[in-house]
Structures are given as structure tokens and as C-alpha cells.
Structure 1
């Protein structure tokens, strides 16, 4: 094909645009950052990133249907001006992978001269609106908002391909974060690389596409966080709030900086602007307006930056000067807390994990930025993703280097570091003192391991366990001495440390639970329930003792009753209990609520252990009464006969179970008082004062 004048003009325009953007980058970002962006631009994308995307094939148009609703929760507004092929790809993605939420789609045609007007009305389920004259992006979006019926407006560029689950993720953010006012998607290039993970605005009005050309799965970009702005290519906002703010500000007509200004207006109204990485949208940046800010529609970007800078001068004065953003600078105004544990917490499997996740949630509520690093650096699927959806910056391999290198890079940014479990903390303390000397070092014991092992030795009479307990005691007390503050879960454990570590600063931070409510009434419940993970030896001993020595006595008086054993990592000894009459071994169950709300009574037959028993809190939080041993209720502020029944030998334990199962009045009193106990001693509100002293002061 011969080289034409048009080809020459194209190359000249591209070169001019690159030169203009390069000079702008040097002025705002500096040489090092600009060079890194050039390298990232030239570096080829991993084929795996593109393979993970849904990109509809470009085929000849044939009518299709959008499964929209006449009573939508969300109204998706798509402004278009020509570029029919892009619009059809966007609509096909919505049709092929429709959201679970009820939605409608409104396409506002801003005077397209191509075949848009004759083609789009053939898409069933689409609301097509053609403007009388071309008015630009802002006018088209505001027109679409005026036509919307949903409670949430979602603005979507026509040169996007929304990925499966994108809209539901945006909407779920409003459910999880009641103060959210504007939520933006994770924008991806068609090759799978990151285009934007929320935006950063500097004090001179310039903006930075955070994460540009990076790996979208990198921990830096994979967690829910507040952003200075989110690109209008894919954003969601409550329709009432958008109307209250007057829509997109027409001072920026026809386009550019209107989305940035909207974010500032949302914050001025007391609401948050959030970046949601679970909402993934491919955006063919520049497909409709080009990329050259020196000519064409993009020239408005330069003009409107000055308009924006003048309009938002007061707010911009509190922003940082141009720099390359990092997690440290993004959260520079917050207390930054690093949490280290052996593994990523699995709150549906053990009470220690539930406590840790709720602690991180509480820290976020108190205004801290939380970073989590598992010692094994493993990505743990939805458990890691759950932390990220809470707004926790959760790291894992391959992006997290080994601890020495990771802490050398990140250690200086932390105000507080909490290391969980003595065997994890002992490994990290030297590194933390070297790389984060400014940080307050907190040891979270979870429970006092040496106390648990001592009690196991007493129950079993095993000399080897007793010897191991002494070694654990030395290591654990050594960690306590090396840290600034130690957390224990009960007053009883604090008393132990007053004796064994009198110079230590010790705070009680017990289990953290939400009160689920009373569940079903007495008449609609049945059977006995035990909940606990079986990597924990006290739980194995407890269910074996109960099934062998207590449950047969219960069955003599209640022959139809069953004993449900729930918990992961079932050992062969526990699995064998299923052969006994009335014993049902479930193993791990993904949803514990039906067993909590429908089980008549919970049992906690622990013969040794330490700490506070999450299984008891969990049952009581659901209005499920508990029969327990003295060891199980230690440090839990419980009174025998008032909010729990306590028994330590087999006959007494069986008698207490039978009594609670047969007396509706007693059962109701225990249930009511148990709920009150959780609210008083084990809720987030009960822990706030300690959390503030330890982490925020």
C-alpha cells in the first residue's frame, strides 16, 4: 500500500501528541517517573492479562436483547457520538454477561452522523434517546440522568467493555460503605494492563492515573480505597446525590475535568469517593476523543484544568505537590497499621481469624489504613479478596518480596505494627526493629499458647507436652519483653502476665462479634451444636469426650436428639465419631448461620485451653444458649445459671444439657442474657477504647 498524505498527517499528529504529553509529564512528574512510564508503555503486556478479559467479537450487526428491567436499581447511561462499533461492543458485553441487579440502559445519542440512529433502536430492552443537536459529553450525560429511573446512576463510556460482575461490584460498594457517594471501576487497557486504579490530583490541578500500565492484580491496586477522583468512563453515584449537586458542572463543557470536579463536589457534600477494583471495565482510551491534548476535543483537557484549578483552589491547597504516588503517600494523612499473621485469616473457619478480621474492620472505621502481610506470602483466594474489599491493602506473592526486602521498602511508612502469635512475632521482631524503628510494636498473643499447653499437660498427664509448654513459655515471654504492648483476650490472661511478665504493658482486646439477633424461637429449634476448627487440639479432645462420655447420657433422656459437629480440618479421630448414634460430623460448612439460628443448644465441652472461646460468642450472638465447662467460660464475664450453664464432669454436663433443652423459660433467659453479654463485652463498641489507645494514640 503506497504511503499517502493522510498517513503522513496521522504520523505527524501522533508525534506531536507524544511530544506534548512527554513535555507535560516532565514538568509534572520529573525525569525518573517519566522515563518509567515510557518503559512501561514499551514493555509488552503479558498474554495472560488479555486472556483473562471478555472482549466480544466484532461481527456484523444483528438485533439482540438487553435483559433490562422496568423497575431498575441502576440506570446505565451511555453517551455516544458516532463510533457505532464501540457502542455495539459495549452493549453486547452487557447482554452477554448481564448484572444480577435490576438495571436499565439509556443511550444518549449526541448527534451521531453514522448509522447509530438506525441501528440502536433495533436493540431490544434499550432506551434510545437522540439529542436534537450535538452538545458534548456533559450535556449528553446530564440528559441521560434526567431520563433515569434507577436509584443509582452509572455513567459508562461507549468505548468500554464492562467485564462480568462489574455493575454488581459497584452497587455492592454502596451497600458495604454507607457513606460512599461516588464509586469508580478499575479501568483496563484492551491488552489487560491497568489503565487507572483511581486517580490522584495534585495541588496544581494536574491528575495522575494511578497504576497506569501496571498489573491490575498487584496488591497496590487491588483493594477498595478512597481516591481523589475516579474516571467518568465507568462511575456510579446515587441519583438523588447527582441531582443535589446539579449534575456534571457545565462550566467544563463540552468535556474534561467534569468527573474530577464531581468527585470534589461529592466530598464537599460529606460523602466518600471510592475506587472499586472488583468492578473491572476495559476502556479503549482515546477511541472517541483521541489522545493529543494539543488539538481536537482533548484540547479542552488543558483549558479545563485551569478552570478546575481556579474553581477548587481551596480544596487543592490541601493536596500534595506533583510526585509519583505510592501507597505510603496515598495514605499519608492516615495512621498506617501493618498486621502480620502466619496465614491469611479465614473468619468462617476459626474464631481467631474472625477476631482479626473484625479488628482490621474496626481499625478502618477508626480512620486507620490497614496493611496485611501473611508470613507465608500466599494468595488465599476469596479470603485475600475479602480483606481487600474491606479496604485492607493485602499483600501476597509474587508481588510481595520476602520479608527482609518487603520491610526494607515498606517499613518506614508504618505507625504501628502488630505481629500475631509468638512464633510469627519472634521471626519478625529483629526485622521490624531494623526497618520500622519508628513504629509501635504490638504483640497479639491470640491466646497465651504456653498457658494452653500447660493445661493440656495437666489434663493428659503427658510429660512431653509439659516439657514443650516450658519451652513455649520462654519463647512467648521473650516476645512479650521485646514488644511495646501485648494484647491478650481476657482479664484472666492479663492476671497471668502480671505474675509472669510484670514489666510488660498488657491490654485486653477480646473477641469482636456483631450481634446477629435472636434467631428462631425455642419451639422451632432442635439438636445440639459444636463449632470449632480441628487444627486446634482442645477442640478435638472436647468433641471426643462429649461424644463418648456425655452424649450417651443425654440420649437416654432425649433419644431423638442429634449432635452436630461443625468445623474444618477434621481429624480421623473426629471423623470416626460419625459412627456413634446421633452424631453428625459436618466438617467445614460455608454458611454457619442456619446452624446458629436453628440449633437448640450449643455445647463447649473444653477440658483445657486458653483465651476467650469464639464458639461461645458466636452462639450467643445468634441467641443460641450454651452449656460449657469452667475452662471454656474463663474470662468471658458469664454467670452460671444467668447467661450460661456450667458443668465439668460428664453427668453434670449431661444434666445441664437436658435441663436447657426441656425448659423453655430457662432457655429464653439464657438466650436473652447471652445476647446482652456479647453486646456489652465482645462488640466493636466495647473494643473501641482499647483500639484507640493501642493503635491510634
Structure 2
């Protein structure tokens, strides 16, 4: 009996995955590892420069291939590869390469890894900017943290970014959503068909070992890629508002701020006299997280779900965050820390949890339980494979049902194709 043909997967990455630098990089690696459990043949490609913290994909048996934007060399590449599944990492890659994939591999399943809704994140960032213009000394950000979904829709609907991102979701056969809150936003407000979306949160093995106990930990920690705007805003808010309030109550407290790609503007905030230490990139993020007593994540805007808070749960480190930080990460399970909506409330929560051994230990166990109930790879990995397999088997019917996507592909891909060909021709003459 012949073995069934091997499923060939092509990933077109916005960047090369850096799992130790960002949650998006970690999520991509979790998806790739799920595919590897099926013995799928995987090629990862990207037009981006290789970053200093890139994962060693070749060591996992994944081929690596650099590709070019606006170049017909990609046509030869994908024709020869003939993938069964093409995964676009972020909607910008679907915009750039989607028409080429459809032209040369029309029967390949087109999958979009959204990571988070960038249009939602950007709309929230603009809302924060507008709020601070009106109230530059604001302490309480409650109005920003609990809008109804229809209010989020109103923020996003008029933006070019939302139109581009949601159009890419329609053009693909299925989109992976890391946050179920964002699924509700898309289905209830933008009326995206549920059949086009699949909930795929972070895939994390629940910790089974004993956590490092309260007495063996000290200090506060904040971690996150400095290139990610929500993280940088959180660092500034901590420096200017949160941390001074914590130090008033805990004069000996120390905050260690870790992040990849530390810019000079972040290094300039380093002030040991204030207990504010900018530590650059952490070689082992889980190790420094395990040594801390509290993880601070005062995010004033953002989208998706937060890898730093999942890492905190994995390490048994209670956290202090905002409703933005906790969004999409729990389904009414007890939170592994405390949530606040103003600098003063967050600072009080941080001091209280830092000093209360019993509450701290309970928060630690809440994190363990939350990971086990919501993020277990044993459930989400097979469910992802099942959904992709089902979509492949029902591809013709699904595409017929998604006329809007077909229409958008027709119009956008034609214009994108001619623009790409014009750019390529222009580059030849330079």
C-alpha cells in the first residue's frame, strides 16, 4: 500500500521568527511545531532581513528561503515548490504575494496568521493619543479600557488599515485568530463569516513542576520588544507615573525592564538611584521571569493576547496589568494577579500583591490552572490540524460560499499584479 502524499506547507513570513523577542515569533514557532507533528514538509520564506535573534529553523528540519518583493523569481519558486498550504504571516504578506500564489497554485489552501488585529491596535493607540491631548495629566484610563464592541468598530471602520486587514481575511480561506475577543469583533461587528476564522491562541504546555516560592523571589520585572509600540508606551507610563508611586511605598523596590532591540531612548531611562533598571535583551526570558516576584504589564493599548503574561503564568510569576493586558486571555477563570485601570490603582495592587504571600501564592496557582484550561497544545494543536484538513477537503464549496472574498481577490490582485510588474520593470531599468 502506498503512503499518502506528504503535505507541503509554504510559510511567507513578514519577518523571520524570533520566539525569544516577541509573542508573535513564539506563536509562529508553535504553529510550525504543530505542523511538524504531522510530518508535513515545511518551507519558511521571507523578504525580511535576518534578525540577530532568529530561530534556527533548519535544525528543526524546516527549509529556509529568502524571497524578494515585486519579483517574478517568486513565481518560479512557488511553481517548483507546489505547496498544498500557504500560510501568510500577517496581512501585508497576503497583499504582496497573494495574487502570485493564486495564479500559480490555485488549489493551495490560503491561510492567514493574523497574530493580532493590527487595525484594532492602531485604532486604540490613536484613541489614547486623543485622550492624552485632552487630559495630558490623566491618571485614570477607564474610558479606554472597557468599550463595547460596537465602539471598537466605530474606531476602526473608517481606517484604511482596517479595510486592508479585513479584506485580506476575506481573501484567504481561513484566518488564525489568537484572541477570541477579536473573533467576536469580526463576526458581530464586521460580519465576517465564522467559517473564515479559527481560534488559535498561544499553545503552552501547562507547568507540572513546583514553582519557585515567594521567599526566593525579589523585585519587579517588565519585559517586551521595544519595537512594539504598546510595550514602549507601557515603559514610559511606568517610568513617569507607576514606578514613582510604587517606590513611595516600597523605597527599596527594584524594577528590571528587559526588551529586544533596546533603542537609545530606552537606555536613557536607566536610573539605578530610582530603582529603574533598563536591562536590554534577556538571553533567557523565562529565567529572569522566574526570579522576579511580580511582572508589571501596564498596557494602555494593544490587541491580541500577551505572550509576556503567558510566560509569567508559565513561571509562576503573578502579574499586574490592565484590562487591555488581560483581554482575550481568560474566560472568567480567576486572574493570576490583579487588574487596574489607573496608575494609582495599579501601583496599590503591585504593592499589595508584592507583600501578601497568601494572595501571591493563590495568584501563582491561578496561572497554572488558566494555562491548563485554556492554552493546552494537546487540544489546540490537533484542532488546528483538523480545521486545516477540513478546509482543504471542502475548498471548492468554501470558496463558492465566500463570494466577497473572490470579488476582493479579483479586484485587488489585478491592481497589485500590475503594480508589482510595473515596479519590477522599473527596477530593471535602474
Structure 1 length-normalised TM: 0.49
Residue of 409, 416, 428 corresponding to 2:80: 409
Residues matched between the structures, number: 363
Instruction: Determine the C-alpha separation between the residues in 2 that align with 1:641 and 1:515.
Output: 16
Relative to structure 1, is the Cα distance of residues 686 and 583 closer, same or farther in structure 2, using a 3 angstrom cutoff? farther
Residue of structure 2 in register with 1:392 after alignment: 62
Question: Which digits, 9 at most, give the CA deviation of each residue in 1:397-434, with x for residues without a partner?
Answer: 79x99423311321x2x221110111121111101101
Match status 1:513 vs 2:204:
yes
Query: Structure 1 residue 546: deviation in Å?
Result: 1.4
Match status 1:645 vs 2:338:
yes
Check conservation: 2:20, 2:53, Cα contact below 8 A. no
Instruction: Determine the C-alpha separation between the residues in 1 that align with 2:127 and 2:211.
Output: 38
Instruction: Determine the C-alpha separation between the residues in 1 that align with 2:307 and 2:17.
Output: 14
Query: Structure 1 residue 474: deviation in Å?
Result: 1.1
Instruction: Determine the C-alpha separation between the residues in 2 that align with 1:391 and 1:496.
Output: 37
Check conservation: 2:323, 2:341, Cα contact below 8 A. yes
Relative to structure 1, is the Cα distance of residues 642 and 591 closer, same or farther in structure 2, using a 3 angstrom cutoff? closer
Check conservation: 1:420, 1:443, Cα contact below 8 A. yes
How do 1:5-404 residues align onto structure 2 when only pairs under 5 Å count? 318=2, 333-376=5-48, 378=49, 383=54, 386-396=56-66, 402-404=73-75
Check conservation: 1:518, 1:597, Cα contact below 8 A. no
Residue of structure 2 in register with 1:431 after alignment: 100
Relative to structure 1, is the Cα distance of residues 642 and 490 closer, same or farther in structure 2, using a 3 angstrom cutoff? closer
Query: Structure 1 residue 598: deviation in Å?
Result: 0.8
Check conservation: 1:640, 1:646, Cα contact below 8 A. no
Residue of structure 2 in register with 1:452 after alignment: 121
Query: Structure 1 residue 650: deviation in Å?
Result: 0.7
Larger Rg: 1
Residue of structure 2 in register with 1:158 after alignment: none
Query: Structure 1 residue 618: deviation in Å?
Result: 0.7
In the alignment, structure 1 segments of 5+ residues that lack a partner are 1-316, 320-331
Query: Structure 1 residue 363: deviation in Å?
Result: 1.2
Relative to structure 1, is the Cα distance of residues 397 and 437 closer, same or farther in structure 2, using a 3 angstrom cutoff? closer
Relative to structure 1, is the Cα distance of residues 588 and 401 closer, same or farther in structure 2, using a 3 angstrom cutoff? farther
Check conservation: 2:300, 2:324, Cα contact below 8 A. yes
Give the secondary structure class of the aligned counterpart of 2:324.
Answer: coil
Match status 1:542 vs 2:212:
no
Check conservation: 1:379, 1:396, Cα contact below 8 A. no
In the alignment, structure 2 segments of 5+ residues that lack a partner are 133-154, 391-430
How do 1:501-650 residues align onto structure 2 when only pairs under 5 Å count? 501-503=191-193, 505-516=196-207, 517-579=209-271, 581-637=274-330, 642-650=335-343
Instruction: Determine the C-alpha separation between the residues in 1 that align with 2:52 and 2:229.
Output: 26
Indicate the RMSD between aligned Cα atoms, in angstroms.
2.6
Instruction: Determine the C-alpha separation between the residues in 2 that align with 1:688 and 1:485.
Output: 16
Query: Structure 1 residue 468: deviation in Å?
Result: 11
Check conservation: 2:67, 2:74, Cα contact below 8 A. no
Question: Which digits, 9 at most, give the CA deviation of each residue in 1:424-455, with x for residues without a partner?
Answer: 21111101101111111111111001000110
Instruction: Determine the C-alpha separation between the residues in 2 that align with 1:634 and 1:337.
Output: 31
Query: Structure 1 residue 396: deviation in Å?
Result: 3.1
Give the secondary structure class of the aligned counterpart of 1:407.
Answer: helix
Instruction: Determine the C-alpha separation between the residues in 1 that align with 2:241 and 2:50.
Output: 42
Residue of structure 1 in register with 2:190 after alignment: 500
Check conservation: 1:645, 1:656, Cα contact below 8 A. yes
Q: Which has the higher contact order (CA 8 A, sep 6+)?
A: 2
Residue of structure 2 in register with 1:676 after alignment: 369
Relative to structure 1, is the Cα distance of residues 537 and 599 closer, same or farther in structure 2, using a 3 angstrom cutoff? same
Instruction: Determine the C-alpha separation between the residues in 2 that align with 1:368 and 1:380.
Output: 26
Question: Which digits, 9 at most, give the CA deviation of each residue in 1:88-136, with x for residues without a partner?
Answer: xxxxxxxxxxxxxxxxxxxxxxxxxxxxxxxxxxxxxxxxxxxxxxxxx
Instruction: Determine the C-alpha separation between the residues in 2 that align with 1:382 and 1:458.
Output: 33
Query: Structure 1 residue 679: deviation in Å?
Result: 2.4
Residue of structure 1 in register with 2:424 after alignment: none
Check conservation: 1:512, 1:683, Cα contact below 8 A. yes
Structure 2 length-normalised TM: 0.79
Residue of structure 1 in register with 2:141 after alignment: none
Which structure shows the bigger proportion of residues in helix conformation? 2
Check conservation: 1:642, 1:669, Cα contact below 8 A. no
Give the secondary structure class of the aligned counterpart of 2:61.
Answer: coil
Instruction: Determine the C-alpha separation between the residues in 2 that align with 1:535 and 1:373.
Output: 22
Relative to structure 1, is the Cα distance of residues 433 and 367 closer, same or farther in structure 2, using a 3 angstrom cutoff? same
Which structure shows the bigger proportion of residues in strand conformation? 1
Check conservation: 2:112, 2:169, Cα contact below 8 A. yes
